[in-house]
Structure 1
């Protein structure tokens, strides 16, 4: 079911969200200081393309907190708003609820991407 969910997700919204994360990562990588943030964006971009069968575990320390604060002020809020709005649109129908839940997972991750680990279930 996860494979089918990922294929449908990629067609109906994952491509747009994954490209948004990828382009954000490219913008962060323009400066040398932003490269660690850009690399994290690329990791989350892979999750945005195919989120089914993956779980996000939150953790981190002081360094993650500082990076999350900088991230939230510059880029995170816009990615979180777009994911949350897309999640609301998906949750209008019963069939779209699993896709909406994935959008809400990505919206939360958009707010706090540093100090997280992505776990794949098989």
Structure 2
């Protein structure tokens, strides 16, 4: 079932969201200071491309640098990417088939706003922490 949902997701919104994250990642990697943010954009872009069967968990070792980084991320790229998730989520919810995908899109909004300090893990593998 995860594969079917991922293929439908890929066609309807995943590819376009992935392109948005790649664009944000490339723009952020222009400066040396932005490289960690660009890497985070690429990491979450892959998650947005194929999300079913994966989830995000908060890293227990994330501290103040992740918090400060999330504030910078929010200002630089986070709110644009969250807006893309809102628009595609609403568009997907207009059809009955797209409602589960729209809900999944809404679940990606917190990750797009505050990605630092989170780790993407498979849902069938328990997170043990670091």
* TM class, shorter-length: over 0.9
Shift of 1:74: 1.5
Query: What's the TM-score, normalizing by structure 1?
Result: 0.94
Equivalent residue number for residue 102 of structure 1: 104
Query: What's the TM-score, normalizing by structure 2?
Result: 0.88
For the residues of structure 2 that align with 1:36 and 1:74, how far apart are their CA atoms? 13
For the residues of structure 1 that align with 2:20 and 2:107, how far apart are their CA atoms? 16
Query: Which structure's residues are more often helix, by fraction?
Result: 1
Shift of 1:107: 1.5
Give yes or no for the alignment of 1:27 onto 2:35: no
For the residues of structure 2 that align with 1:73 and 1:40, how far apart are their CA atoms? 15
5+ long unaligned stretches in structure 1: none
Shift of 1:93: 2.5
Q: How many positions carry a matched residue from both structures?
A: 122
Runs of 4+ in 1 over 3 A off after TM superposition: none
RMSD of aligned residue pairs (Cα, Å): 1.2
Deviations 1:45-81 (A, max 9, x none): 1101101111111343211100000011111111101
Q: Secondary structure in 1 aligned to 2:108?
A: helix
Shift of 1:31: 0.7
